[in-house]
Amino acid sequence: QVQLVQSGAEVKKPGASVKVSCKASGYTFTSYGISWVRQAPGQGLEWMGWISAYNGNTNYAQKLQGRVTMTTDTSTSTAYMELRSLRSDDTAVYYCARQLWFGEFFWFDPWGQGTLVTVSS
Partner 1 sequence: SYVLTQPPSVSVAPGKTARITCGGNNIGSKSVHWYQQKPGQAPVLVIYYDSDRPSGIPERFSGSNSGNTATLTISRVEAGDEADYYCQVWDSSSDRGVFGGGTKLTVL
**Binding positions for partner 1, rule: CB under 8 A:** 35, 37, 44-47, 49-50, 59, 61-62, 95, 97, 100, 102, 104-114
- Minimum distance of partner 1 from residue 121's CB (angstroms): 26
Q: Which is nearer to partner 1, 84 or 99 (CB)?
A: 99
Burial 53-92 (b: 16+ CB within 10 A, else e): beeeeeebeeebeeebbbebeeeebbbbbebeebeeebbb
CB closer to partner 1, 113 vs 120: 113
Instruction: Give CA 98 to chain center in angstroms.
Output: 10
Name the residue nearer to partner 1 (CB basis): 80 or 95: 95
